[in-house]
Amino acid sequence: MDKMPAWADAVLVPLISLILAALLSALVIVAIGESPIEALKLMVEGALMRSTGWGYTLYYATNFIFTGLAVSVAFHAGLFNIGGEGQATLGGLGVALVCLYLPWPHWSLALIGASLGAAVFGALWALIPAYFQAKRGSHIVITTIMFNFIAAALLNYVLVNLLKPVGTMDPASALFPPATHLPTFQEMFSSPESPLFRGAPANISFFLALIACVVVWLLIWRTRLGYEIRALGHSESAARYAGISPVRIIIVTMLISGALSGLMAVNTTMGESERLLMNATEGAGFIGIAVALMGRNHPLGVLLAAILFGFLYQGGAELALWTNIPRELIVVIQALVILFTGALDNMVRIPLEKLFLAMRRGNT
Amino acid sequence: MTDQAPAIELRGISKAFGPVQANKDISIRVMPGTIHGIIGENGAGKSTLMSILYGFYKADAGEVFIAGKKTEIPDSQAAINAGIGMVFQHFKLVQNFTVLENVILGAEEGRLLRPSLSKARGALKKLAEEYELSVDPDALVQDLSVGHQQRVEILKALYRQADILILDEPTGVLTPAEADHLFRILDNLRAEGKTIILITHKLREIMEITDTVSVMRRGEMTATVKTAETSPEALAELMVGRKVLLRVDKAPARPGAKLLEIENLRLTDETGVQRLRGISLDLRAGEVLGIAGVAGNGQSELLEVLGGYGTATGIVRVNGVEIPLSGTGCTGQARRAAGIGHVPEDRHHDGLILPYTAWENACFGYHRDPAFQKGILMNNAAIREDAKGKMERFDVRPPNPNLAARNFSGGNQQKIVLAREIEHNPDILLIGQPTRGVDIGAIEFIHQQIIRLRNQGKAILLVSVELDEIFSLSDRIAVMFDGQIMGFRDAAQTDQRELGLMMAGITQDPGGDPLAAIDATLAAKEAREAAQHG
């Protein structure tokens, strides 16, 4: 009865969309007088051919995995959480407080503590919109995006007035104590003979992100809570019929979603900058929406899409460094990828469905 | 008559939606001045065929002849120009326009409304006298009863000079008396030489009013016969492709203890309209209490309240124990624990999660059962195994638990819901519209299951808008109108006429033509709702 095989839906559709986006991007690069082949070469070399490039790609990917998972989990409950930015911002605050004010004997314990701090702060920031959605029917898209602005302002205030060390000009917290330093890929995988990931920010939180993928997969498809989340996402009246409380599921789902967004800060704030900065999220909360969209809200898809976007981020930085192609162009390319994989999904899907149908007719 | 050209002739119409062949090589001749029934189960392709005729879909192949002339119908305007009028199952009226404004909508002449309106007023008056189609031309459509809204639809078509009238399931929302009146209108239209195509799934209507009947099954026209020369049994067999039992065999009920007691149940919806206005009833073990009524008179709300997902005031006792009607103890989960199973009216929105697989659906609502858990995870293997058994015992086809619920036919979807609710062995089973959108073959099976359950000593509350179904299953019948129960009747000692009047809010037989009394009660109901709404 299905129109096309599942693998085609999961692999072929995004792949073709991606190729279309790449072709259009190539045209844009031609239009500004550069060679798209050269540009692609630079991006691939810069992001994927050297271990340092991978170190950056995976660092960005780590952020996108967390925010992508956050959007996915909420989406399964029919909630469109676009407040990843704000939740990650607050997650950063949680990480900073845990790292600055608690004495940690070892990074592994600090990692657990900071993860908890990030998750709790992110979750609480999502709780307020969740409560308004569940109890008052205030639309979560509106409230979460407004909470992004509030989060940015709050962080600004906290950094400037409370966390900034006396005598510094920089709106940033003090450096975290050395015991909270997370192992980077360089420290984990290099040996004196073969230096790897030199200077790259990728760190152990990438593995935390991988664990999050597995946990989210288990949560959504193997637990009762996931079953109820998906049921609510498909039909609220059916959920109520089955005795599932929409209020409870909305709140619990948003807590999980906010916690996942918040966890992103472990990578940026603890793993990379080792102090709390303004704008540490760098828009990753929004990229998470594209990642979830492209990854079809499945953890494996989110992982792959996050790596793709990590590649685009790092490759874009390389382009800006070595060519006259401005860094903004990479935003154009990202936008095209989002446009084709998200908004124009049916443009690829419908002809493909027809093709499969015709092939099936031909066979029978 | 035989030398006349047919009013409509379809030749070799085919239409596919993706892999689904909705219409396959359909040919049909409808003679002028006749009522031609098209009968078939849901999904047999009746609506698709009529949509092609009305210009909504373009046929992949085939030709349409109107009055002997080959006609292209690319859109509905072309259909109207060819003299075809359509009365849809779901009316296409502007609710806050008057009858007159609705009638001229799309048929205005010139930029000024007044000339069109006064012309339509005259035409409407004439039509009303000719065909017993009286409606107040200045009433707002939202204030009219459903039966009157339907008349407006018919008037719209006639005002556009339709010679051919297509009615899609016209009696679904009518009380029996209103349906009788509709049939009288159709009779008058036929006498005036109009051609009528009546699409329905009700055998009784076909036998009552049509001259010729065509049977559709799985996109094909399986037979066209003269109504006088066939029987309901023969038609049912043509629809399903095998012999079916139209009657349910059942022994007399042996009612036991009171399992469900309801006292003065009241519910006001969020817009302020009272939907339940003091319902009281008792339900005993081993009996089927049928709740008859036209859709929208509070039956759905009653089921929702009893099922635990609507809040109300009043007293409900299950096995003598009062259950909460609002607050935290009022959930579907609590009701199931109290021994109430519920087959909801709308399986697509409530009873099933359509994208879920059959096995995920087969535990829906019972998914907290400890047998389905494995530590913090769900025991999917056990659930799948359980679902497989249920599907086998309830003859769900195909018996594949991994298929998404949306890929099953209506009848098989209903069997999944029924299996889930019945196999959890409730004391009380609430069943809403058990056979809506269900094929005749499955209806037989579902009815047998309900009777089997009743014979096991379960209490069954059946809500159905199909009077035939109420009659064939119920031991006692309660009629709901406007949020109230108009009365209880012993199923063996009442008839369609009495129930039909009660369904329109009339408990005393007024004698003669009851339509005036019906109009009065329906108008009173609309007025009350409008007043509370405002």
Q: What is the pLDDT of residues B454-470, one digit of tens each?
A: 999 999 999 998 888 99
Residues in CB range of A104: below 8 A, 6 or more apart: A110, A113, A177, A179, A180
Q: Tell me the C-alpha distance between B52 and B60, whole Å.
A: 10
For an interface test with A, the pick among B304, B305, B377, B412 (most A C-beta atoms closer than 10 Å) comes out as B377
Identity of the residue in A3, A224, A360 whose CB atom sits nearest the CB atom of B368: A224
The reported pLDDT for the residue numbered A1 is 41
Contacts of A236 in chain B (CB under 8 A): none
Instruction: Tell me the sheet residues that pair with B214.
Output: B38, B224
Tell me which residues of chain A, numbers 191 to 220, contact chain B at a CB-CB cutoff of 8 Å.
218
Q: Left if phi > 0, otherwise alpha if psi is -120 to 50, otherwise beta: which for A181?
A: beta
Chain B touched by A5 (CB under 8 Å): no
Q: Tell me the C-alpha distance between A223 and A75, whole Å.
A: 17
The reported pLDDT for the residue numbered A363 is 67
The reported pLDDT for the residue numbered B280 is 96
Edge-to-edge order in the sheet of strand B313-318: B274-284, B258-268, B313-318, B321-322
Instruction: Tell me the sheet residues that pair with B35.
Output: B196
Q: List the CATH code of the domain at B258-495.
A: 3.40.50.300
For B356, which residue in chain A has the nearest alpha carbon?
A231
Total length of chain B? 534
Q: Tell me the C-alpha distance between B134 and B125, whole Å.
A: 8
* Beta strand extents in B184-292 (DSSP E only): 195-200, 212-217, 220-226, 258-268, 274-284, 288-292
Chain B touched by A223 (CB under 8 Å): yes
The reported pLDDT for the residue numbered B3 is 61
Q: Do A224 and B367 touch (CB under 8 A)?
A: yes
Residue at B68: amino acid letter = G
Chain A touched by B14 (CB under 8 Å): no
pLDDT tens-digit readout, B212-261: 999 998 889 989 999 999 998 888 888 888 777 767 778 888 899 999 99
Residues in CB range of A303: below 8 A, 6 or more apart: A65, A210, A213, A295
Q: Tell me the C-alpha distance between B224 and A225, whole Å.
A: 54
pLDDT band at B1 (very low <50, low <70, confident <90, very high): very low
Query: Which ranges in chain B are annotated with CATH 3.40.50.300?
Result: 8-240, 258-495
Query: By the 8 A CB rule, do A132 and A138 touch?
Result: yes
Determine the average pLDDT of the residues in B276-299: 94
Query: By the 8 A CB rule, do B194 and B165 touch?
Result: yes
Per-residue burial over B221-251, b = 16 or more CB atoms within 10 Å of its CB, e = otherwise? bebbeebeebeeeebbbbbbeeebeeeeebe
Identity of the residue in A227, A241, A357 whose CB atom sits nearest the CB atom of B18: A357
Chain A touched by B201 (CB under 8 Å): no
- State how far residue A146 is from chain B, nearest Cα, in angstroms: 29
Among A69, A79, A58, A78, residue whose Cα is nearest residue A262: A69
Chain A touched by B466 (CB under 8 Å): no
Chain B touched by A350 (CB under 8 Å): no
Q: Tell me the C-alpha distance between A163 and A176, whole Å.
A: 12
Weakest-pLDDT range from A144-148, B168-172, B371-375, B387-391: B168-172
pLDDT tens-digit readout, B398-435: 899 999 999 888 889 999 999 999 999 999 999 999 98
Q: Tell me the C-alpha distance between B343 and B351, whole Å.
A: 7
The reported pLDDT for the residue numbered A10 is 78
For an interface test with A, the pick among B367, B373, B413 (most A C-beta atoms closer than 10 Å) comes out as B367
Chain B touched by A234 (CB under 8 Å): yes
Q: Do A241 and B332 touch (CB under 8 A)?
A: yes
pLDDT band at B512 (very low <50, low <70, confident <90, very high): low
For an interface test with A, the pick among B356, B359, B397, B430 (most A C-beta atoms closer than 10 Å) comes out as B356
Q: Tell me the C-alpha distance between B530 and B534, whole Å.
A: 6
Identity of the residue in B334, B373, B403 whose CB atom sits nearest the CB atom of A224: B373
Chain A touched by B375 (CB under 8 Å): no
pLDDT tens-digit readout, A36-65: 899 899 989 989 988 999 999 999 999 999
**Which CATH number applies to B8-240: 3.40.50.1100, 3.90.1300.10, 3.40.50.300, 3.40.50.720?**
3.40.50.300
CA distances to A192, A246, B128 from A135, in Å: 59, 10, 52
Contacts of B344 in chain A (CB under 8 A): 241
> Pairing between strand B373-374 and B476-481?
unpaired
Contacts of A360 in chain B (CB under 8 A): 19
Residue A322 burial by Cβ neighbours in a 10 Å radius (0-12, 13-18, 19+):
middle
Tell me which residues of chain B, numbers 317 to 336, contact chain A at a CB-CB cutoff of 8 Å.
331-336
For B347, which residue in chain A has the nearest alpha carbon?
A238
Contacts of B342 in chain A (CB under 8 A): 241
Chain A touched by B307 (CB under 8 Å): yes
The interface predicted TM-score (ipTM) is: 0.86
Determine the average pLDDT of the residues in B28-48: 88
Structure tokens at A84: 């990843």
Q: Do A222 and B365 touch (CB under 8 A)?
A: no
Query: By the 8 A CB rule, do B40 and B216 touch?
Result: yes
- State how far residue A1 is from chain B, nearest Cα, in angstroms: 7
Identity of the residue in A223, A235, A243 whose CB atom sits nearest the CB atom of B336: A243
pLDDT tens-digit readout, B355-381: 999 999 999 999 999 999 999 999 999
Weakest-pLDDT range from B31-35, B143-147, B297-301, B307-311: B143-147
Quote the mean pLDDT of chain B: 90
* Structural domains for chain A: 55-306 (1.10.3470)
The residue ranges of chain A whose pLDDT is under 50 are: 1
Structure tokens at A244: 């599932």
Chain B touched by A137 (CB under 8 Å): no
Query: By the 8 A CB rule, do B49 and B216 touch?
Result: yes
pLDDT tens-digit readout, B85-119: 999 888 889 989 999 999 988 888 888 888 888 88
Residues in CB range of A137: below 8 A, 6 or more apart: none
For an interface test with B, the pick among A227, A356, A357, A359 (most B C-beta atoms closer than 10 Å) comes out as A227
The reported pLDDT for the residue numbered B523 is 78
The reported pLDDT for the residue numbered B505 is 87
Edge-to-edge order in the sheet of strand B164-168: B84-87, B164-168, B195-200, B35-40, B212-217, B220-226
